[in-house]
Amino acid sequence: MKKSGSCWTSLTGFFILNLILVWLKTYLNYFFNFALGASGPVQLFLLALNPIPTAIILLGIALYFRGRLAYFLVWLFNLIQTIWLFSNMLYYREFSDFLSFGILGSGSSTGNNLGKSIAAIIRPTDFLVYVDLVVLAICLLFKFWPIDKKGLAKRYAFLTTCLGVALMFVDFGIASVDRSGLLTRSFDNNYIVKYLGLNEYAAFNAFQTKKQSDSRKDATAKDLKTVQNFINQNNIPANASYYGTLKGKNVIVIHLESFQQFLIDYKVDGQEVTPNLNAFYHDQNTLSFDNFYNQVGQGKTSDAEMMQENSLYGLSTGSAMTKYGTSNTFEAMPGILGQQGYTSAAFHGDVSTFWNRNNTYKSFGYNYFFSKNYFPNADKANYSVGYGLKDKIFLKDSAQYLEQLPQPFYAKLITVTNHYPYTLDKENATFPATQTGDSTVDGYVQTAHYLDEAFGELMNYMKKTGLYDNSTFVLYGDHYGISENHQPAIAKLLGKDSVNNYDLANFQKVPFMIHSNGLQGGINHTYGGEIDMMPTLLHLLGVSTDGMTIFGHDLLSQQNQQTVVFRNGDWVTPTYTKYRNDYYDTQTGQKLSMQSNPALKATAKRVQAYADKSLSYSDKVITGDLLRFDKTRLNAYTVDKSSYDYQKASALKSLKQNQKSNPTSLLAKNNYQSTVGDYQTDAPELK
């Protein structure tokens, strides 16, 4: 090696300089071109740290070589990382997401649209990321940077690699403490980049893609046949007295974030937490299910959506929408109703990429997806909380698009304000908090009350405009709001001294309501869960589920076996409950012993076998993309993902054109006079 005084003109100096340059341009672009939402000292520290480990490892490969080749390899690995950075800068600007290998390899409409619009989105300043490479290339070509032919001793190259690996583990360790389940839950690609880095995201996405590719590659039509045989063995007929009673009506699905069943009719200081939802729940035209459970796994909200739209369980780890929503074939509610002449739209006041909705909804067959950038108030200070627009503002702002949808339509509105950590500003927190002594739990009733008020305002608008009379409203809670980690507080909420596993099983209940004028309503005590929503609703709309690969059952069927399967393999029946390896009498809550109860033992064996097969076969449908083999169904039912464009300008243009060709929207029926003025809200932000 050269003397220490010439370090910066050696291979070591060239390596360090490139490391600094790669780090600097990545770090700066985190702030200028990506919206990662880093906050707090830990996240800001990780943002500064995470470009370094892989840069050391990749650039350090050159240190194992000598002479001109070593310098060229340092420069090449700088170039490779820069191209990845540059490509993501452009892609993120258009789609608010990071490139995936699935998108790069599939020739999807997203990738095609990016290619077509590249001239429009690129900026001259984007090329600044290549300036250092040009300067370094000139220095090497014209020998302004002397070449150290001796290179670096192999042991130093190896130690450099070890340093990069060690820093990677440090990064991951700190990230895991700040965001538990970072890789298994996979909320959003922004989280991966924010915590681990852009290069690490590429490695993680490559692993996901390889795993998905292997599952899909090994799957055969025979696998689908095995699954369908199981489904056919457990198929049950629809209830003839309900079948088709809602045919042709609009369907408005309201996704009640983190809303649990115990909130219905619940009071604090003598006041109803949710008076509007209570009245709706008890309305004579509402079918309300009081033994209805959430069945989500790690995917939480995305699992609930997967079940609600497809009657497929979420995966045992991670989110099916995130991992498989882009490339899989689905037979989902929007696409199915599209075959019945419905227009479909989803509404969400957060970024379109969360839970990979921007891609998954295309696979489901949604015509429109109105996400954060469609709402004029989304970027205003104090208009959002947690995971998007506050519900009152979100629902009011959604009216401008609801009134434009050609009828009949299928619309899903995803509320978000009633989400952990259940905090509201003083102007909106108009309901007294509970006094459990648990600060996280005590705010839950306040955000639930706010959601209830927002729901009441939406219903008033529906009634004023006439949409109420020709619509079916479907309300469901997606998952628990208060986790089992708060058992002392749960006990106080339930008026108990303590809670056991039976209480916790019942605490997994969420509301499920179907309301329509003329519907034979009432409180239905059938045991069921989110996996059953799709077949129940389709039968009410007069759509047969025969031949569909679904794992739920019509809750109104007189032959329903009433078996609720949780994602971890636990289950509930009207007779017995299994939860956390304990068994209970479902009706009395008495704890039971398997050894002294032959009836329980026989039932448990049968139900467990059914539960295990249901979960396993559902997983195979998703990971193996088995529905692509269902030629019988696909001949009549197709979803062309490339035909959907959720970019605001093109989507609004399409919506306007559809109104002219199919003038059945509320706006058209009102002589194109907007009804948004009929939407009244007491949201203090809008006063």
3-class SS of residue 566: coil
Distance between CA atoms of 97 and 105, rounded to whole angstroms?
16
Dist. CA 441–CA 421, nearest whole Å: 8
C-alpha to C-alpha distance for 672 and 383, rounded to whole angstroms? 29
What CA–CA distances, in Å, run from 456 to 264, 279, 295?
15, 10, 27
Relative to beta strand 271-272, strand 471-477 is unpaired
593-631 as b/e: b if 16+ CB within 10 A: eeeeeeebeebbeebeebbebbbebbbbbbbbbbbebbe
How long, in residues, is the chain?
687
CA atoms of 551 and 140, how far apart (whole Å):
63
Q: How far is CA 533 from CA 214, 253, 283, 513, 639, in A?
A: 31, 11, 20, 10, 21
Is residue 131 classed exposed, middle or buried when 0-12, 13-18 and 19+ CB atoms within 10 A define those classes?
A: exposed
What 3-state class would DSSP assign to 472? strand
What's the Cα-to-Cα distance from 342 to each of 49, 137, 362, 405, rounded to whole Å? 50, 58, 15, 10
H/E stretch holding 29: helix 11-32
* Residue 257 near residue 478 (C-beta atoms within 8 A): yes
353 three-state secondary structure: coil
Compute the distance between CA of residue 97 and CA of residue 109 in angstroms, rounded to an integer.
Answer: 14
The tokens for 646 are 């959720």
Q: Which amino acid is at 243?
A: Y
Closest CA to 423 of 413, 414, 433: 433
Could you give the residue numbers annotated as active site? 301
Give burial (CB, 10 Å; 0-12/13-18/19+) of 408: buried
Q: Two tokens at 398? A: 């959604």
